[in-house]
Amino acid sequence: MTKNDNLFINIFFCLLLISLISYSVIVSLPQFVKSHSIIKTKIEPITFRAIDNKLVSISNIKTPFALFFWSSSSEPCRKIIPMLDKISEVYKDKFLIIGINNGESLEDITNYFKDKNVTFPIIYDEDRLFSANFDIKNIPTFIFIDENKIIKKISIGKPIFIKSIIDDLVD
């Protein structure tokens, strides 16, 4: 192979890499823009039924809170639930986490939590009707909401700075 052949191959692979990166950004951009377009909007009052049969009403929540969209089939979600439970205990009267299961039946969710002791409310959204309001496509997804029911932040995937996000909301 000549120097020109090597140069051509290197240029080809560089262009291919740039194309793949550009494609992945373009594909994910609509979800990013759509989800971030609801920041600073007020969440509608809604009442959920938790898996323990208690009602959870958004209008009755007086503290900042997070909606945590999850599924038991997602390993990142399963790994983060114990951490969220600890956070829920630490911020007990200052911040609430509401776990919203994304598409599983009440029976499946109840079975999943049978041997787990979780202190934050777990809601089931079997038909994904509530999730559709926020265009939830990826899990875990967190929607952080202040005490005035205004959406402040959306985090797709494990929020790296969850403690600082919560601290900003409760201060």
User: pLDDT (tens digit, 9 = 90+) per residue, 12-30?
Assistant: 665 555 654 544 444 443 4
Does residue 101 come out as left (phi exceeding 0), alpha (psi in the -120 to 50 range) or beta?
Answer: beta
Q: Where are the domains of the chain?
A: 1-37, 47-170
Cβ pair 96, 65 in contact under 8 A: yes
pLDDT at 45: 84
CB 98 within 8 A of CB 120: yes
Residues whose CB is less than 8 angstroms from the CB of residue 6 and which lie 6 or more positions away in sequence, other chains included = none
Q: H-helix or E-strand containing 143?
A: strand 141-145
Average pLDDT of the chain?
81
What average pLDDT does range 95-118 have in this prediction?
91
Number of DSSP helices (H) and strands (E) in the chain, helices first? 5, 7
Single pTM value for the model: 0.75
Residue the block writes with tokens 């323990």: 52
Lowest mean pLDDT among 60-74, 101-115, 135-149, 154-168: 154-168
CB 109 within 8 A of CB 51: yes
Rounded Cα–Cα distance for residues 45 and 120 (Å): 19
**Predicted pLDDT of residue 1:** 65
The CA distance from 101 to 123, in Å, is 6
- CATH class held by domain 47-170: alpha beta
SS3 5: helix
pLDDT at 164 over 90: no
Least confident of 26-30, 72-76, 140-144: 26-30
Averaged pLDDT for residues 88-98: 93
Range in 7-11, 105-109, 123-127, 161-165 with the lowest mean pLDDT: 7-11
Span 42-61, pLDDT tens digits: 888 888 889 988 999 998 99
User: Rounded distance, CA 47 to CA 25, Å?
Assistant: 36
pLDDT above 60 (res 147): yes
Distance CA 143, CA 121 (A): 15
Length of the chain: 171
Work out the angle at residue 88's Cα, subtended by the Cα atoms of residues 43 and 67, and round it to the nearest 5 degrees: 25
